[in-house]
A and B are shown apart, each in its own frame.
Chain A
Amino acid sequence: MMESLDGFAMWNEPLVGNLFGNFYYFRVGGRKLGKHSILGEAYKETWLGPMRDLVLGGAEARFPEVVRGGYLVIKEPNGSIGSPLLMEALPESRMIFLIRDPRDVVASSMDARSEGSFLQERRDGQRRTSRPDRNPNAYARLRASTYVQQIEKTRQAYDAHGGHKVLVRYEDLRADALETMKRIYSTLEIPVEEAELARSVEKNSWENIPEEQKGEGKFHRKAKPGGWREDLTPEQAEIVEGMAGSLLRELYPFPSTA
């Protein structure tokens, strides 16, 4: 929806956050990065600058038209692990903290990686049997763990970011896309024409996706908040709730019905 607006472009998953975040937070096995490490804490100023250049240079090379005045939306959910570093390197940027009920995230991920799904076909040859099919509970645990890791880092970035920022729940987008989009732009202080926004919302609505492109195993699956109740076993829901409990209570403060 953001890309459809005049003067906007979208950078689809540069994974720059993954590049740095993974090393900075995890690759050294939890050990503190010493002064010699290229991403050593003591020399942060010296590497945040080149990191900023890497993002800005990459953006300029890919979207030269936006340089003349416009907005670049960077879709980077899989780079969320490095979001605290990214936002520190680009403090004047705006930030959206996009969340969704972890149970629906896990259910969607299990469907996407099941035998015959769009993602499984795309990665055909990499694995003979998909992980959710082999051991669904173990997969639910693994995916919930990734969710917690990513959302916790995003929240850390969001809390620390001094610039314009907004928290958006997927469920609110589904319930009232136009109003939620208006709230996003006004909070981020980006002027957009309401009529154009309405057209974009309509164009990209669930109802306008052809039926044959929707359903189980497809990229567009259900778009149904709370769909996890049909998709996950009670045991799987408990696994997710156990791992993402504090985030769930904070971001989705209503009792489980699992």
Chain B
Amino acid sequence: MPVFRYPTVSGVARRVRAFLGPETGVDGHSAGGVAPENMIWIFGTGRTGSTWLAAMMEEPEGHDVWFEPRVGTVFDPQRFQRHGGKHFILASQYKDVWLRSIRNFILDGANARFPELAGGYLAVKEPGGSVGAGLIMEALPESGMVLLIRDPRDVVASWLDATRKGGWQSRRRGEGGRRAESLAETNPNAFVRRHADAYLQHVGSARRAYVAHEGRKVVVRYEDLRSDTLGTMKRMYGELDVPVEEARLAKAVEKHSWENIPEEEKGQGKFYRKATPEAWREDLTRRQVKTVERITAPLLEEFYPKGPAEQQG
């Protein structure tokens, strides 16, 4: 129960303004550092190729990547759905106040981590924080946004492989990984259901943010990245209005291509598994496919409108 003497608030505000001086922008941020309009947010969900995409985006001169800050998880609006009162720190009546704070959180964090990037571009790989994508894009309306998607059946199949006994995810996550591993082994259907729900939640939130965002934005499908990486990257930067030298981009694409990953780092249970669109046909049972299709139906229909597996033969 902290109690503070309130005159401090105005005093602090005055001191902060005086400290920042005349160079300060309207939101209290100096002109230096990472410009919000040069930030590119990547939302979606895990196992959609975001690491691959981020690796390519890190290559051009003057570009860098902020790897999963999880700011969207901190401010996950679904966590606080039942706290609707005006006293709640994120009460809708005071949105302009706390949205400014979220903006400051992000910009201060970016500037501290990437001080050398003044004038450059910062891609923020944030699929795991997609639940908060709406708030983030509202706090940074001048930033660019990538909605990175992949067939949910392949995403779930990839998670299932990663979390099974000996999979890279269960090794990395210790106790939490062992619990997930246990579910993947003992009840794979429940595991599939849980991950299809997570896909709907993450990608659904990211999609809503994408629709609401009025700034530069682009949808990138993993399958398009796989079939024509350079063409897709060029289209992405074009839509985002980010100038990138084509030769440089081609080099980045080549460097991070599937073919250039050492064979011993690829395969079942490894971070780099198959990279084959529609591999779910081999990986999931018919029942599991139906489960994923039922849960993620609205997104599947919009982004993969071939119809359910049964109709595809």
| Residue B87 is within 8 A (CB to CB) of chain A in the complex | yes
**What band does the interface of chain A fall in when counting residues whose beta carbon is under 8 Å from B?**
35 or more
Question: Which of chain B's residues have a CB closer than 8 A to the CB of A76?
Answer: 1-2
Bound-state CA distance A51–B267 (Å) is 44
Say whether A27 faces chain B, with CB atoms less than 8 Å apart: yes
With A and B bound together, what is the CA distance between A256 and B2 in angstroms?
Answer: 32
The residues of B that contact A28 with a CB separation of less than 8 Å are 70
Q: Is A243 an interface residue (CB 8 A)?
A: no
Chain A contact residues, CB within 8 Å of chain B: 11-16, 19-20, 22-23, 27-31, 35-39, 43, 45-47, 49-63, 66-67, 69-77, 83, 86-87, 90, 92-96, 98, 188, 190
B8→A63 contact, CB < 8 A: no
A-B contact count (CB 8 A): 147
Which of B79, B87, B113, B176 is the one whose CB lies under 8 Å from A11? B87
Say whether B98 contacts A54, CB under 8 Å. Answer: yes
Contact assessment for B109 and A58 in the assembled complex, using a CB-CB cutoff below 8 Å: no
B10 within 8 A of A: yes
Q: Say which size band chain B's interface belongs to.
A: 35 or more
Nearest CB to that of B68 among chain A residues?
A36
In the complex, which residues of chain A have a beta carbon less than 8 angstroms from the beta carbon of B4?
Answer: 71-72, 90, 92-94
A-B residue pairs in contact (CB < 8 Å), sample of 21? A12-B87, A13-B88, A23-B70, A36-B66, A36-B68, A46-B111, A47-B108, A53-B100, A53-B104, A56-B13, A57-B97, A57-B98, A58-B98, A67-B10, A71-B6, A76-B2, A83-B2, A87-B2, A90-B4, A92-B5, A93-B2
- B3 in contact with A71 (CB, 8 Å): yes
Which residues of chain A are near B105, meaning CB under 8 Å? 38, 47, 50-51
B109-A38 in contact (CB<8A): yes
> In the complex, what's the smallest C-beta–C-beta distance from B43 to chain A, in angstroms?
15
Is the beta-carbon distance between B108 and A14 smaller than 8 angstroms? no
Which chain B residue shows the least CB distance to A74? B2
